[in-house]
Amino acid sequence: MALFDEIASRLYRGLCCVAEGHWPVGSISRTSVCSCRVLIAAALTGFLVLPFAQGAQAATISRVQLPVVTRPYPTLQPKMRAPARHLFVAKMAGLSKSQRVLLTSLQGLVNRAKPRIFLIWGKDDSFWLKQMQKQGATGTAISVRHPLSLVRRFRASIHGAVVPDPNVYDSPDIAADIAAVDDLVIATPQLAHRLNLPIRVDLRGKFTSDAQALRYLRVRLAREMNPFLFLCLDPKLLADGGEDQIIAAKGMSFWVTGPDAGNEPGANMAAEKWQIERLFAQTPLDGVVRGYWWCGNRMGLDEGPGVALGAKYGKITVVSDYLQNMSVFSGVKLSRITQHFAPPPPLNRSKVYLSLAISDGDNLCMWYHFFRHWFVNPAHGKLAIGWGMGPTLIDEAPTLARWFYQHADSKDEFFCDVSGAGYIYPPDWGKRLLHRRAAFSDFYNWTWKYMQRMDMKTLRIMPLAGTSGRQDRASIAEVAAALPHVKFLLPDYSYQGEKRYAHLTYMLPSGQAVFRAAVIGGGVKNLARQIRQRVGRIRPAFLNVFISPWDRNNLPELVRLMKKLGPGFVDVTPSQLDTLYREASAGGGQGTAN
């Protein structure tokens, strides 16, 4: 039987080899071997023709040993060279989609050597360009009246054009990959002709499906690209400028369509997902997936399945689907930044202490387009706020990180969001890898480095949604053990259903405090009800109050919340919450009912 199993295993690997074009990575599942026993028996008796492609796509990739490759930069995210003293600045308003795609690809190619092109997509770009100038990272800009004239000015940086196929949905992403490798701009045939650009690669008719196009990326292009950088972006968003740095750093662009995108030309979710799994299995640990897995409900793989897929193969999601000009901002240098931590108020054992923790700061777009308006609101500074922030912002957009830290006061505290250096689900991290524990340790080593650079004291983590309380607590403890220098943690993206206060706020045997999210969100009235319900008559009490910016809970609304709760409830920063909790615990009587 052992010999038969070995033959089955080798046959199954052979099926994958024939269907996929190279030897499979890692081991195969026991189910697959058992299936091959049946296939062999049937084939030997002449009753079956082996279904090569179908068998290969049904395989389960597990116990993968990722290649060990030297990272080309010392940071998680790629850094560009310092921006030119005088940037060429062009406004994108009024341009067609094809023109915007072309100029973004041109920006990536030109800025690879030195950031020289900055594109204005809206008011936020103008604001952050001005801040970059104020901070001394660049000087007076050179205004470009006709944006397409940049093609002529920088003609020496490009070798021609690549034309996507409108009949294959993912073709524009593959065009971005080819543009990055061959120094081409992405263009329609008409636009290439108008600008006198030779068409070097024409993808029309080259592929019949998205999966075939993604296989071309995996088998032919990936070897010439940056194996630590990916962009998961719906092709229709390429006209919004999110791919400039990906092209500059030769990252791999792709998209996986969703269950409701089956009518898109060439779409096949299962086959596309399979190709990306193979790509992730052949690229090294701690690769960063920029963009986003979601673009409308069920139109992509979606957030949960996408983040989990990346995490299983040791890939980190950094949400950044609407983030422009990163090929410029990432050239700004900032090694470390510090916060201003204020001491907590005196402990009053009759009070409930609340840390209002704003979510979704792992999405770097929020800092570029959204949270700035909170910091200039008259209500800013009236109550203590914890701001979850993706820590790689210090590399991707140091200009933004510096601005927010400079505009924070003693009532603001930034913490690491979500799950670490990037967006993962800890129970999924490295699940398909041969050395899962080593991969887990490696991710949290990166996390601790970034927390130190950003002067962050804690982090929000997201256990798998829907797991039991005991499993969640085990996951939290595993992360805490990987971060022994972190004194406390803020787990959960909203309340996960724990009924007892002692399961929301507690101390691990390691001496690390845990403050799980106590509310699920909602308006002022609903939040106040949930907070009172979680603590009951327990005094003093200490809660992590999860605040979603999508619930219209702006700063004035949070001021209203504290007024509604009354003087028995005190807003504090995350670090103050931890200090007060420890003081109450040390003094005895913490968590008793009055």
Same-domain pairing of 378 and 296: no
Strands 541-547 and 569-571, sheet pairing: unpaired
pTM for this predicted structure: 0.90
User: Does some domain include residue 144?
Assistant: yes
Convert the pLDDT of each residue in 213-260 to its tens digit.
Answer: 999 999 999 999 999 999 999 999 999 999 999 999 999 999 999 999
Convert the pLDDT of each residue in 102-147 to its tens digit.
Answer: 999 999 999 999 999 999 999 999 999 999 999 999 999 999 999 9
User: Does some domain include residue 414?
Assistant: yes
Predicted confidence (pLDDT) at residue 5 exceeds the cutoff of 50:
no
Exposure string for 311-335, b = 16+ CB within 10 A, e = fewer: bbbbbbbbbbbbbbbbbbbbbbebe
Same-domain pairing of 589 and 513: yes
Q: What share of the chain is helix, strand, coil (3-state, %, to 5)?
A: 40, 15, 45
Predicted confidence (pLDDT) at residue 477 exceeds the cutoff of 50:
yes
Rg (CA), the chain: 26
Work out how many domains the chain is built from and give that number.
3
Instruction: Name the band, by pLDDT with cuts 50, 70 and 90, for residue 550.
Output: confident
Same-domain pairing of 53 and 120: no
Instruction: Name the band, by pLDDT with cuts 50, 70 and 90, for residue 591.
Output: low
* CATH code assigned at 370: 3.20.20.490
User: Does some domain include residue 64?
Assistant: no
Convert the pLDDT of each residue in 6-48 to its tens digit.
Answer: 444 344 344 344 333 333 334 333 334 344 443 333 333 333 3
Q: Which structural domain range is residue 517 located in?
A: 352-593
Convert the pLDDT of each residue in 375-419 to its tens digit.
Answer: 999 999 999 999 999 999 999 999 999 999 999 999 999 999 999
Same-domain pairing of 259 and 399: no
Same-domain pairing of 52 and 104: no
User: Does some domain include residue 271?
Assistant: yes
How far is Cα of residue 529 from the mean position of the Cα atoms in its chain? 33
User: Does some domain include residue 412?
Assistant: yes
User: Does some domain include residue 243?
Assistant: yes
Same-domain pairing of 20 and 130: no
Predicted confidence (pLDDT) at residue 154 exceeds the cutoff of 50:
yes
Same-domain pairing of 45 and 132: no
Same-domain pairing of 476 and 554: yes
Predicted confidence (pLDDT) at residue 343 exceeds the cutoff of 80:
yes
Same-domain pairing of 310 and 456: no
User: Does some domain include residue 178?
Assistant: yes
Last residue of a domain, one of 17, 42, 57: 57
Q: Give CA–CA dist 248/253, Å, rounded.
A: 12
Instruction: Name the band, by pLDDT with cuts 50, 70 and 90, for residue 592.
Output: low
Mean pLDDT of the chain: 90
Instruction: Name the band, by pLDDT with cuts 50, 70 and 90, for residue 61.
Output: confident
Last residue of a domain, one of 294, 329, 364: 329
Same-domain pairing of 446 and 504: yes
Mean pLDDT of 202-210: 98
User: Does some domain include residue 566?
Assistant: yes
Instruction: Name which residue leads in pLDDT, 517 or 49.
Output: 517
Same-domain pairing of 102 and 197: yes
Same-domain pairing of 211 and 115: yes
Query: Which pLDDT score is estimated for 50?
Result: 31
